[in-house]
Amino acid sequence: MSLYHLQKFLFELNRGELAQEKYRDDLPGLLHEYDLTDEEQAALNAGDIGLLYVLGVNGQILMHYAAFLGIEWFDYLNMMREGIKKHGAVRDGVYAMTGGGSSFTDEEKNR
């Protein structure tokens, strides 16, 4: 059930300005409030989008978190692709990569 707690942390961060303030002021203290594995804590401490994606964080939760971190759109997509290369396929949930890492927009291909 750890993925549940990981996603709950991000859910509460995404929607709560108080949680966002605490994230900026005392991330270790905030993480301590959740039942997270060492791997999950490390991913959150590093803002590791690729690993969080592979761990199975719902894409809608992850996308909002990436926006909160100020990550540009195409960088966000690449971070997920790099996560797959480094850690393997998405382990849980319904946001698996199905396109083999391809880009589906001219805007990204033409960058």
Question: Cβ atoms within 10 A of the Cβ of 51, count?
Answer: 21
Kindly state the helix (H) or strand (E) to which residue 6 belongs, with its residue range: helix 2-15
CA–CA separation, 52 and 44 (whole Å): 8
Residue 98 as a binder of another protein (CB under 8 A): the answer is yes
Residue 89 as a binder of another protein (CB under 8 A): the answer is no
User: By CB under 8 A, how many residues form the interface with another protein?
Assistant: 36
Residue 18 as a binder of another protein (CB under 8 A): the answer is no
Query: b vs e for 53-89, b when ≥16 Cβ sit within 10 Å of the residue's Cβ?
Result: bbbbbbbebbbbbbeeeebeeeebbbbbbbbbeebee
Residue closer to another protein by CB (options 22, 81) is 81
Residue 88 as a binder of another protein (CB under 8 A): the answer is no
State phi, psi for 95 to the nearest 5 degrees: -105, 35
Piece of the chain touching another protein by CB under 8 A; list 23-31, 36-44, 66-74: 66-74
In whole angstroms, how close is the CB of 31 to another protein at the nearest point? 18
Residue 110 as a binder of another protein (CB under 8 A): the answer is yes
Q: Which spans of this chain sit near another protein (rule: CB under 8 A)?
A: 4, 7-8, 11, 14-15, 58-64, 67-68, 70, 73, 77, 80-81, 84, 94-99, 101-108, 110
